Copies of this chain bind each other. A is one copy, B any other.
Amino acid sequence: MSKLSNVRVAAIQMSCSRDVNENIKKAERLVREAAAKGAQIILLPELFERQYFCQERQYEYYEFAKSVEENDAVRALLPVSEELGVVIPVSIYERAGTVLYNTVVMLDHGKNLGIYRKTHIPDDHFYQEKFYFTPGNTGFKVFDTEFGKVGIGICWDQWFPETARSLALMGADVILYPTAIGSEPILSVDSSGHWQRTMQGHSAANITPVAAANRYGLEEVKPCNENGGQESALCFYGSSFMTNETGEIIKAAGRDSEEILISDYDFEALRNIRLEWGVFRDRRPEMYGCLTK
């Protein structure tokens, strides 16, 4: 198999309990299932080690952050990536000295290829991420894996055309988004369609497949002083999906089920399509000044 052709990519949708070891074991089981189906690049959801703790502001949760080397999911999945001969981007809460980040560690055949720290950090009543994560300082990252060039955005990054465009310009063969997003019961808006269309647009405009792996399930926290006594619950809506290079959804998960989505891509053919379409040829960077102001 050529390095850049006929690559099988999987996106895993799972729920997360309050038990870290249980979540890591579940992730490992699903990675093994995906690999057994031939998947070579296997995407897990964002921060799958835990329930989504950013629903509340608790100083003690800062202790969840560990260095890349000490992170439990990385420790568990690094040897798995070697044993199975696969690429696994692992989303973690990273401690880097006195600064904490929302980070993906790119595991490839038992090696750590490097990290990407989430560039865009959301903040509202239900996603209080600015309390937990410093905006990333790595810049956008495309990892040159054994199976092709993998671009990574983390959750909120997926709303930003700048992320996807930068990754495409850096040569990404595929763009992967580990995600934790939900809405009801308290939020009245179901953003799932908006969420999908945004990434479909990134895919279509950059002529690059994208995959988003979300968690599913209801996660509730009790009102507490740290959270201003606010009631908080999120029903993560699953709806993980994968597109082809025109932004069409070719694999889609339900809203409330454990699933492994799998798609095959010919990365070399897609590179040619990107050239032939001409949008990268016809860019006018000298006209884009307002994007960086």
Contact = CB atoms under 8 A, between A and B. Distances in A.
Given A160-B279, A291-B291, A292-B291, A284 B200 contact: no
A119 to B, nearest CB: 5
A292 B284 CA distance: 8
B288 A292 contact: yes
A162 B165 CA distance: 9
B122 A278 contact: yes
A124 interface: yes
B205 A198 contact: yes
Interface residues of A, number: 49
Contacts of A286: 292
Given A204-B197, A248-B197, A160 B283 contact: yes
A140 B199 CA distance: 24
Interface in A1-45: none
A99 interface: no
Residue from the set A204, A246, A278 with the largest chain B CB neighbour count within 10 Å:
A204
A139 B293 CA distance: 15
Interface string A43-75: 000000000000000000000000000000000
Interface in A248-293: 248, 278-279, 282-293
A135 interface: yes
A-B CB proximity, top 10 nearest: A201-B201, A161-B161, A197-B247, A194-B246, A198-B204, A197-B204, A285-B292, A120-B282, A162-B288, A198-B205
25 contacts: A120-B283, A120-B284, A124-B278, A135-B284, A140-B287, A156-B282, A159-B205, A160-B283, A161-B165, A161-B201, A166-B288, A197-B197, A197-B200, A197-B246, A197-B248, A198-B201, A198-B247, A199-B201, A200-B201, A201-B201, A201-B202, A201-B203, A201-B247, A285-B291, A289-B292
